[in-house]
Structure 1
């Protein structure tokens, strides 16, 4: 059976993330390092491309919500016919912490209790806990909630009606009976997609781990004074990570089954915890700056000098992944 491999870029020719929004990967260089032939197209051509069963479609997502929705819509009916790289689950999880929580619960990984919610009144985890906006990545929209008054602040900022809707609600209250008004209030409630996660106490840092095939790049991120978040702290160190963190990252990589990954891993007395993850269009800072990467050989982690070549590592990860498909 002849299998075609397609590589779909964004309409501007970009693939993945090169860090700053004004930079892009050198696609010509990346493709030159691939050990298989690809047909290059852009995502606007997905709907007009003829695919055979078992063809392979490699694509990139985007930080733009509309582009992500476009991809979800256009790849939905293809996901059961051809192989998507990344998988459709990885696409669903991209910059969507809500789906990440659903996935972690279904497959039983992550080692952290979390729940997706759209109504702040549906929260169930005990205080203290962390609540996060489901959309996006990084430390923005992430809050430590120690007591009910903290939760009220989040509710006011993210779950409040606009002044116009408040005025309309007052008008409806005058015209409707009590039962009708209660139904109206819920239907017009200010919902927002959030998640809640258990708070892991006494953390002083976490690890950003980028996985490209069998290469693991790590960054220690310390927590600032009077904060609880490591992401965005700017207090970064490239140290030799604990073996437990590398072993845990390798286990998560086997579950997520993607050529490349970005993992946020915390370590506590009860083990490692997967806080968040991405499998497409994630920042490459750790790869571009780490002096070494780590590779597991017969159960031992070996340190190797890092070339800091982003295109080479993308190609390496894709070559390995494709080799495993054909084996």
Structure 2
């Protein structure tokens, strides 16, 4: 495997996401990334997605890291997906694989990945839909959690108590409005016997099993062998913890970690075969539940605010009171992943 890595940036030259970056939303520091990758024996170059040339000598066998995007409407993210999938199909090594980019801010595909790789990890029962008409309201166990496919910090997440409420929530969140085309489709229904109209509610969504009586959940950020944890309280008169505000969270050594939570997180991490991961985990006193996961472009406040991290050694989880820059832990996790890939090829 070559020791040269290409880092793909967006049209603003930004690579990755970083809490408290300066200037605002400028991503990780290029000079620091170059420094830490060099210390691990790798040279890196930065290139915009639009500058990628899809010829064999530039793609096949070469390593590509990339950023994602949460632009309004996800138009630029759609372009990123085209480029990353093209590199992967051309024989390039994209880290992480394209499927994880597809799942970024896409809870429907996130659930599909869970079904494919994590069925044995006390996963919550969930259902994915592409339209209102696919839902069999009488077969659902209420209450249940409605989640829009897109959104973060609990946006588009609602606890639904009955089928009437569910239908109302779906219609509110999943309307696909186009007045002219809807009118033409209505005319087709009148003119053509047996014609079934297009659904007016085609924004995809998921329904997820509700876990009652939780006071908080945990977010764990994994970078290679370093595990950063923080605890999020459930909001007052609500069931959601995400979005309650970083100043309300408990970080690092101050978290009262339930026994087994890091083993649970490590099991997920190993099954996905990735360099870094963010997971939302709940514990009801008996077992763990995986609410959501993100493999790239996730929030990094847990790294920034923690006084250290946990690591696994000789069958034990040990807290290390040690702080590194995000660029350091990110580059180390990539190099750790590349070493595993190299070992598997030998």
After TM superposition, the score normalised by the length of structure 1 is 0.90
In 2, Cα distance between equivalents of 1:70 and 1:82: 18
Partners of 1:194 and 1:174 in 2: how far apart?
Answer: 27
Q: Which runs of 5+ in 2 are unaligned?
A: none
Equivalent residue, structure 2, for 1:87 = 97
1:234-253 equivalences under 5 Å are 234=245, 235-238=248-251, 239-253=255-269
Q: What is the Cα deviation at residue 179 of structure 1?
A: 2.1
* 1:238-263 Cα deviation digits (max 9, x unpaired): 21422322111111111222211111
Describe the superposition over 1:8-55 as per-residue Cα deviations: whole angstroms up to 9, x where unpaired: 122322111113653421111112111112232121112356435322
Mean Cα displacement is larger for which, 243-252 or 68-77? Answer: 68-77
SS of the residue 1:217 aligns to: strand
The answer as to whether partners of 2:132 and 2:201 remain within 8 angstroms in 1 is no
Q: Which residue of 2 aligns with 1:97?
A: 107
CA contact (8 A) 1:5 1:39 kept: yes
Find the counterpart in structure 2 of residue 73 from structure 1. Answer: 82
1:156 maps to 171
Normalised by the length of structure 2, the TM-score is 0.85
2:216 to 196, 200, 205: 205
Q: Does 1:139 align with 2:131?
A: no
Deviations 1:195-246 (A, max 9, x none): 1111112211110111111101011011122211110122311214223221
Shift of residue 163, structure 1, vs aligned partner: 8.8
- Corresponding residue of 2:283: 267
Between the two proteins, the alignment pairs up a number of residues equal to 323
Q: Distance in 2 between matches of 1:163 and 1:213?
A: 46
Maintained 8 Å contact 1:130/1:145: yes
1:231 lines up with 2:242 in the alignment: yes
When residues 167 and 11 of structure 1 are mapped into structure 2, their CA distance, relative to the original with a 3 A threshold, is closer
Q: In structure 2, which of residues 178, 183, 187 is the aligned counterpart of residue 168 of structure 1? A: 183
Q: CA RMSD of the aligned region, Å?
A: 2.4
Separation (CA, whole Å) in 2 of partners of 1:311 and 1:148: 47
